[in-house]
Amino acid sequence: MERAGRRMVMGMLATALLSAGSSAWAQVAAAPAVAASAATVFNGADTAWMLISTVLVMLMTMPGIMLFYGGMLRSKNALSIVAHTVAGASVITVLWAMFGYSIAFTSGGPWFGDMSRMFAEGLIGSKVGAHVSAPTLPEPVFFLFQLSFAIITFALVLGATAERMRLGVTIAFAALWSLLVYAPIAHWIWHPNGWLAKMGHMDFAGGTVVHIASGVTGLVAAVVLGPRRGFGKEPMVPHNLMLTVLGAGLLWAGWFGFNAGSAFEAGPRAAGALLATQVAACAGAMLWGFCEYIRRGQWSVLGMMTGAIAGLIAVTPASGYVGINGALCIGSLAGVVCFFAVVYFKSITGIDDALDVFALHGIGGLVGTVLTPVFALTAVAPVTATVWTNTLGALAVMAYAGVATWIILKALSLVTRLRVGAAQENVGLDISEHGEMLAPTASPQA
C-alpha cells in the first residue's frame, strides 16, 4: 500500500511537471506570434489625424477644384467641369480598389507593385495590418489617403481639357491614365522598392507624383485636343470670380491635409510641414501680387489667390524637409516664376491649356522639386537627394507622363471623337452634354 501510494504521488508529480513543461513550451512557441502581433500597434492619434487629412484632401477636389475651375470657365461650361470631376473621381475610386493601389503600393519591383492587394484584398476585417510606409496606421487609412491623391491629380488635368473634351472620353482617359501613368509613378517614388525611391528622390507630398505629372499630362492633352474654338480671337473670361476664390480657399485649407498628412503621423513633422505650407502660400501670394502691380499697376484678387496656389504647389515636395527659410524662398520664387509662366506661356506657344495647368502645376512642381534638396535640413529629416537626383526624377516623370498621355489619347481617338462638335461647343457643354444650365435665366451663350 505504501509503495502504491508512493507511485501514485510520483505519477501525480510527473504529470504536473509534464503539464508545466508543455505549458512553458507552448508559451515559448507562441512568443514569435505574440511579437509579430505586437509589432503592428496602431496609434489612435495618428489614425484620427490621417482620417481628417483624407477628408481635407477630398474637399480639395469636391468642392475645391469644382469651384476653383468652375468659376474661371465661361458660364455655359461651368457645370460640365463638375460632371467631369465627379466622373473621374468615380472611375478612379473603383479602379484604385481593383488594381491601382496594388500597382502603386505593394512590394513588386522597381517599376510597379505586385497584385497582392487586387480588389482591396486584406484591407477589411479583423486581420488588417499596416503598410510599410505608415506602420502606425491601419492599412485601409493609408489606402484612402492615397486614393484621395489619385483623385485630385487627375482632377487637376481637367483644367487643361475644359470646355471641349467629351464626358465619355474623360471617363476612359481617367481609367487608363490612373492605371498606366499615375499608379506606376506613385510606386517609383513613394514605395521603398521604387527605382526613384531607391535613388533617394525627395518628394514629400507630391511635387513630382502629383503636380509635375498632372501638369505635363494637361499640356499634352491640350495639344492633342487642339484649342477651343475662338481661342485667341474672342474673350474667354471667368464668369464668377467669387466661386473661384471660394474654391481657392478650400484648396488652401485642404492643402494642410495634403502636406501635413504626408507625415503619416500626428507629430512634429506634420506640424512643421503645415507651418511650411502656410508660409510658402503667403509668400507666393505676395510675390505674385507684387509682380502684377509692377506689370500693370494693380493687385488682382485672382492673382493673389493664384500666387498662393503656386506657393502651395512648389512647397509640396519640400514641406516635410525644410524650415521656415526654405519655405519662404520656395514660395517666393514660385510666385514669380509661375506668374511669368501663366502670363506668357499661351501667347508664346499658342497651346490652349485652358486653365494654365502646366504653367501653374507643372512649372510650380518643377521649381519645388529641384529646390527641395537645396533647402532640406537634416534637423528635420534625412537628406537623401541632390539637385541632380531630384531633377532626374522630375525629367523621367515628365517624359513618361507626356508620352503615355499622348499614346492613350491617340488610341482613344481611333475609336471615338475626343471633343464635342462645333455646335455643341458653341452652345456650351452644360446644355449640349448634360441638358442643364447654371441658372434658368442665363443665356446658354454667355
Is the separation of the CB atoms in 229 and 422 below 8 Å?
A: yes
Q: Please name the amino acid found at residue 410.
A: K
Sort 298 into a burial class: Cβ within 10 Å, 0-12 / 13-18 / 19+.
exposed
Q: Which of 211, 180, 152, 174 is nearest to 94 (CA)?
A: 174
- Annotate 337-349 with b (16+ C-beta within 10 A) or e (fewer): bbbebbbebbeee
Q: Where are the beta strands (DSSP E) in 115-272?
A: none
Q: Name the grid cell of 363.
A: 512649372
pLDDT score for 125: 86
| Residue-by-residue pLDDT tens, the chain, 446 positions | 334 443 433 343 343 333 333 333 233 233 333 233 345 789 999 999 999 999 999 999 999 999 999 999 999 999 999 999 999 999 999 999 999 999 999 999 999 999 899 999 999 988 899 999 999 999 999 999 999 999 999 999 999 999 999 999 999 999 999 999 999 999 999 999 999 999 999 999 999 999 999 999 999 999 999 999 999 898 899 999 999 999 999 999 999 999 999 999 999 999 999 999 999 999 999 999 999 999 999 999 999 999 999 999 999 999 999 999 999 999 999 999 999 999 999 999 999 999 999 999 999 999 999 999 999 999 999 999 999 999 999 999 999 999 999 999 999 999 999 999 999 999 999 999 999 988 754 444 44
Query: For the residues of 196-255, what is the DSSP string, one character each?
Result: HHHHT---SSSIIIIIIHHHHHHHHHHHHH-PPTTTTTS----S-HHHHHHHHHHHHHHH
- Distance from C-alpha of 280 to C-alpha of 301, rounded to nearest angstrom: 18
What is the pTM assigned to this prediction? 0.89
Unique residue bearing C-alpha cell 491617340: 410
The pLDDT, as a whole number, for residue 171 is 98
Predicted pLDDT at 127 = 86
Please report the pLDDT score of residue 232 as a whole number.
86
Which domains are present in the chain?
Answer: 43-434 (1.10.3430.10)
Q: Where are the beta strands (DSSP E) in 238-290?
A: none
8 Å CB contact between 209 and 394: no
Q: Which three cell numbers stand for residue 397?
A: 516623370
Place of cell 501638369: 215
Tally Cβ neighbours within 10 Å of residue 220.
24
